[in-house]
Structure formats: C-alpha cells, structure tokens
Amino acid sequence: MSRSAQRVVGIVVLLVLGMLSLPAAAYVLDDPGTENWIVPVQLLAMAAVGAAVTIGLPGMAREGATTGRRALTGAWWGLLAAFVGVIVFWFLLNGFRGA
C-alpha cells in the first residue's frame, strides 16, 4: 500500500474512533465516583490507538522513522483525532448555536 493510501486509511480510522471514543468511555465510566475519569481515559485510549495505528501503517509518520518515533507521532495523531471527535460530537448534539 502506498504512503498516501496508508495516510488516508489511518486518518479515517482515527477520526471514526475519535468520534466513538468519548461516548464509549462515558458508557463505561458514567457512574458516581468515576465520571471524572471519562475524558482522561478517552485521551489515553486514543493516544494508544493512534500509536498502534501509526506503528501498523508507517505511512502516517515520516519516512525512515524508528518504531518509537512512529509510536510518538501516532499518539499525537490519536490525540488530535480525539479532539476532532469531541468537536464533531458537540456540534452534532448542540448545533452551531451552542448548548
């Protein structure tokens, strides 16, 4: 698979998982005493997923990057996807006028 195809596949996967990660974390952790852990768990999970995706698809990082560098780059991709997912989810729930 070419580098550009790997990037497209990786970005689409991360965006979809970024949109689903917050509701999934909220479903699991929405109990008294654990509701404050929803966002940190979502961010940690998306960093791990981003690292895994970028290690699996080396086209997501610079050419010739080591495995550790790819994992770090993927963690940042995952955090960016989590942020975009939260923004998209917020707009879907509230619209452009806000809550």
In this predicted model, what pLDDT tens digit does every residue of 72-99 receive, in sequence order?
999 999 999 999 988 888 888 888 776 5
Owning domain of residue 71: 3-94
Q: What's the total number of domains in the chain?
A: 1
Answer whether residue 83 is part of any domain: yes
Q: Which residues contact 52 (CB under 8 A, 6 or more apart)?
A: 74
Flag whether 69 is in a domain. yes
pTM of this prediction exceeds 0.85:
yes
Ramachandran region of residue 2, left (φ > 0), alpha (ψ -120 to 50) or beta?
beta
The answer as to whether 99 is a domain residue is no
42 in any annotated domain: yes
What integer best gives the mean pLDDT of the chain? 90
